[in-house]
C-alpha cells in the first residue's frame, strides 16, 4: 500500500512539474534615447545571471520569454550607460511591458548610427517631420484629426495652413487652382477624379483611414514635377505594435430632413453601399455616343424607346437618420524568424440633407430676369476600407503591401418652381442625378539597410484606378404662360426642343469615366561626410504611366 501511494505521489509531482515547466510569460519593451526619444537598434537585453537574452529590432523593441517569477533585466548598449530593471514580476501567459530609457555615456564617441521608424500618427512626429524636411510643408496627424468632426479628407484639408477648398472637395494651394496641384496616396500618384479636367475630389477619402496628411509646397528632386501649387500627400495607417480591435457607431439628425418627407427618383437595392445595381443603366446593346451621333433621327427614335420612361419624382416618408460606422483591427505575429503584421479598417457614413435655395438674376436697371426656388434633397454615402500588411524578415529588411478602396455616391433630387420673367412663363422642373465614384489603390514597397556600406534602399510599385458613373441623369421642365388666352394655357406643358432631346430641358444623360495609373520608384541613400557635417546623398527614380 505504501509503495502504491509513493508511486502515485511521484506521478502527480512529475505532472505538476511538467505543467510548470511548460508555462511561461513574456517581458516586452522598447529602448529609447533619453535626449532625442529616438529608438535604439541592436541593444543587448538579457535576464541578469542567465544566458537568456536578445537584442532590439529596427523599431527598438524586444521580447523575452521566461517562466513565471521575478527577474532583473540588464540592458547594455555601446556609448550608453548600462541599466538594470529590478524585480520585474512575470505571470503565466501574460506580457509584462517595460519602457527603457538609456543615457549617453560621458565618453566621446566616434560614430553612432540609429535607424528606426517613428509613430507617424501623433502630432509631435508630424512637427518633427516638418522640421527635418528639406521642402516647405504643412501637415496634420491622425491624433489631431480624431479631435475634429471631419469625416472626409476634404474637411481635414481646411485645417491645414495655406490650403483652401473649392466646392468642399477641390484643394487650392497658394492661390493656385486644383489643376496645378497633385494628389498622392502612400507615395503613389492618384488619377484624376473628374471627367473634364485634371483634379482630385478629396471628399472621396474617409479621414478615419489616415495616419497623417502633408501639403508639400516646394519642389524637390525626389518628388514628381507635375505641380505648381503643391502636393497633397495622404498616408494610411501603419502596422500596430500589438493586437487590437475597435468599433465605433454613431448617429446624427438634421432638423430639416430627418424623419420628414423627401423627394427622390427610382432607387436601386445597392444604393446604400454607394453603387448602382443596374437600375439606372442603359439597355444592353445600346450604341456608344460616337455611334449614336451618326444615326438618323428615325434610328435615334427607335433606340429611345428602349430607355425607361421614368420621369416622375416620388415622395417618400421619413428621411433616414444619419449613420456612421467604423471598424478597425490589427495584430502582429511571428512567422518563423520573421514578423508579420497587418492592419485593416472599414468606415461607412450615410448622410441625408434637405435644403432650400433661392435663385435670381437681375438686369443692370434692377429688374428681375427670373426668380426660382429650389428644394434640394441628397442622400450621400461615403465608405472605405484599407488592408495593409508588412513582413519584417530581419531588423534591416521589410516588405509591405498596402491596399485601399473608397466608394462615394450622391443621389440628388432638385424640385424647382418659380417665374421666368423674361419669357413671361411660370416654370416647374425637376432633376434627378445619381453619381458614384469608386477609387482603388494598391502598393508594394520595401525598405532595406546594408550595415557594412550604410546604404539605405527604398522602393515601391503601385497601381491606382478610379471610376465615375453618372447613370440616367434626368431633367424635365414644364411651363405655362402668364397670359392665359385659351384653355390649354392653364396647364403646364413639357418643354421638349424641336428636333432633338436636350438634357438641359427634357432628356437623359449617361456618363462613365475610367482611369488607371501605374507608378514605380526607388531611392538610394548613403551618408557622405563634407567639411561641416555628415549628410545623406540620395538618388531617386520614379516612373508613372
* Per-residue pLDDT tens over the stretch 506-515: 888 899 889 8
Is residue 182 over pLDDT 60? yes
- 289 and 333 inside one domain: yes
Is residue 453 over pLDDT 90? no
| Least confidently predicted of 21-25, 86-90, 291-295, 441-445 | 21-25
Is residue 469 over pLDDT 60? yes
Is residue 22 over pLDDT 60? no
- 319 and 386 inside one domain: yes
* Per-residue pLDDT, 189: 84
Q: Which three cell numbers stand for residue 195?
A: 471627367
Helix or strand run (H / E) with residue 87: strand 83-90
| Cα→Cα distances 331→228, 241, 244, 445, 453, Å | 40, 7, 6, 20, 33
Distance CA 224, CA 184 (A): 10
Distance CA 430, CA 442 (A): 40
Is residue 211 over pLDDT 70? yes
Strands (E), 482-544: 493-494, 506-529, 534-544
Range of the domain at 197: 123-236
332 located within any domain:
yes
* Per-residue pLDDT, 313: 87
* Per-residue pLDDT, 74: 92
Please give the average per-residue pLDDT across 399-425, as a whole number. 92
Number of domains in the chain: 3
SS3 183: strand
Nearest residue to 204 via CA among 404, 492, 412, 418: 404
Is residue 136 over pLDDT 70? yes
Instruction: For 365-410, write each residue's pLDDT tens digit.
Output: 888 889 999 999 999 999 988 899 999 998 899 999 999 899 999 9
- 110 and 136 inside one domain: no
* Per-residue pLDDT, 132: 77
Is residue 417 over pLDDT 60? yes
Write down the pTM of the prediction.
0.67
Q: Which residue among 92, 116, 140 closes a domain? A: 116
- 129 and 111 inside one domain: no
Q: In what order do the strands lie in the sheet with 95-102?
A: 61-66, 25-33, 95-102
pLDDT above 70: percentage of residues in the chain: 89
* Per-residue pLDDT, 542: 63
- 196 and 80 inside one domain: no
- 316 and 422 inside one domain: yes
* CB neighbour list of residue 68: distance below 8 Å, 6 or more residues apart: 23, 24, 25, 90, 91, 92
* Per-residue pLDDT, 114: 63
- 229 and 253 inside one domain: no
Indicate the DSSP class of residue 134: S
pLDDT above 90: percentage of residues in the chain: 24
Is residue 184 over pLDDT 50? yes
18 located within any domain:
no
Is residue 96 over pLDDT 80? yes
- 141 and 160 inside one domain: yes
* Per-residue pLDDT, 530: 60
- 282 and 311 inside one domain: yes
Please give the average per-residue pLDDT across 230-256, as a whole number. 85
- Alpha helices, DSSP H, located in 233-363: 289-293, 297-304
Q: Which three cell numbers stand for residue 263?
A: 423627394
Q: What is the mean pLDDT of the chain?
A: 84
Amino acid at each position: 500500500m505504501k509503495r502504491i501511494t509513493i508511486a502515485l505521489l511521484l506521478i502527480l509531482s512529475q505532472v505538476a512539474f511538467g505543467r510548470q515547466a511548460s508555462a511561461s510569460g513574456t517581458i516586452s519593451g522598447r529602448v529609447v534615447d533619453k535626449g532625442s526619444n529616438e529608438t535604439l537598434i541592436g541593444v543587448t537585453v538579457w535576464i541578469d545571471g542567465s544566458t537568456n537574452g536578445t537584442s532590439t529590432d529596427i523599431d527598438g523593441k524586444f521580447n523575452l520569454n521566461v517562466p513565471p517569477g521575478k527577474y532583473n533585466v540588464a540592458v547594455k548598449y555601446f556609448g550608453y550607460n548600462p541599466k538594470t530593471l529590478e524585480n520585474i514580476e512575470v505571470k503565466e501567459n501574460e506580457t509584462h511591458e517595460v519602457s527603457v530609457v538609456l543615457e549617453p555615456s560621458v565618453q566621446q564617441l566616434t560614430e553612432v548610427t540609429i535607424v528606426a521608424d517613428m509613430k507617424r500618427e501623433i502630432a509631435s512626429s508630424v512637427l518633427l517631420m516638418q522640421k527635418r524636411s528639406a521642402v516647405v510643408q504643412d501637415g496634420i496627424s491622425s491624433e489631431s484629426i480624431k479631435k475634429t468632426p471631419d469625416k472626409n479628407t476634404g474637411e481635414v484639408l481646411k485645417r491645414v495652413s495655406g490650403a483652401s477648398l473649392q466646392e468642399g472637395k477641390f484643394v487650392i494651394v497658394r492661390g493656385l487652382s486644383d489643376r496645378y496641384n497633385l494628389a498622392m496616396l502612400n507615395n503613389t500618384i492618384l488619377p484624376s477624379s473628374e471627367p473634364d479636367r485634371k483634379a482630385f475630389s478629396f471628399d472621396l477619402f474617409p479621414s478615419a483611414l489616415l495616419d497623417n496628411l502633408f501639403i508639400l509646397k516646394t519642389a524637390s528632386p525626389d518628388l514628381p514635377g507635375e505641380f505648381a501649387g503643391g502636393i497633397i500627400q495622404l498616408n494610411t495607417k501603419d502596422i500596430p505594435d500589438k493586437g487590437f480591435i475597435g468599433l465605433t457607431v454613431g448617429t446624427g439628425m438634421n432638423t430639416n430632413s430627418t424623419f420628414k418627407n423627401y423627394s427622390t427618383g427610382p432607387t436601386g437595392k445597392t444604393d446604400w453601399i454607394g453603387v448602382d445595381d443596374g437600375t439606372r443603366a442603359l439597355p444592353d446593346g445600346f450604341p456608344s455616343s460616337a455611334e449614336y451621333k451618326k444615326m438618323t433621327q428615325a434610328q435615334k427614335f427607335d433606340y429611345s424607346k428602349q430607355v425607361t420612361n421614368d420621369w416622375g419624382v416620388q415622395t417618400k416618408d421619413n428621411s433616414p437618420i444619419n449613420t456612421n460606422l467604423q471598424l478597425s483591427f490589427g495584430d502582429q505575429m511571428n512567422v518563423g524568424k520573421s514578423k508579420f503584421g497587418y492592419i485593416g479598417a472599414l468606415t461607412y457614413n450615410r448622410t441625408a440633407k434637405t435644403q432650400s435655395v433661392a435663385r435670381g438674376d437681375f438686369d443692370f436697371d434692377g429688374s428681375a430676369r427670373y426668380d426660382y426656388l429650389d428644394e434640394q434633397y441628397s442622400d450621400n454615402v461615403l465608405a472605405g476600407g484599407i488592408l495593409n500588411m508588412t513582413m519584417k524578415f530581419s531588423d534591416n529588411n521589410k516588405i509591405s503591401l498596402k491596399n485601399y478602396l473608397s466608394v462615394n455616391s450622391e443621389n440628388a433630387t432638385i424640385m424647382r418652381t418659380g417665374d421666368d420673367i423674361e419669357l413671361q412663363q411660370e416654370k416647374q422642373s425637376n432633376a434627378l442625378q445619381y453619381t458614384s465614384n469608386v477609387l482603388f489603390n494598391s502598393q508594394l514597397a520595401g525598405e532595406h539597410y546594408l550595415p557594412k556600406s550604410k546604404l539605405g534602399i527604398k522602393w515601391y510599385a503601385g497601381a491606382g484606378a478610379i471610376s465615375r458613373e453618372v447613370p440616367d441623369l434626368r431633367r424635365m421642365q414644364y411651363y405655362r404662360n402668364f397670359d392665359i388666352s385659351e384653355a390649354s394655357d392653364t396647364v403646364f406643358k413639357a418643354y421638349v426642343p424641336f428636333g432633338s432631346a436636350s438634357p438641359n430641358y427634357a432628356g437623359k444623360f449617361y456618363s462613365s469615366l475610367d482611369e488607371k495609373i501605374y507608378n514605380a520608384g526607388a531611392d538610394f541613400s548613403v551618408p557622405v561626410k563634407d567639411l561641416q557635417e555628415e549628410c545623406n546623398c540620395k538618388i531617386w527614380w520614379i516612373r508613372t504611366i
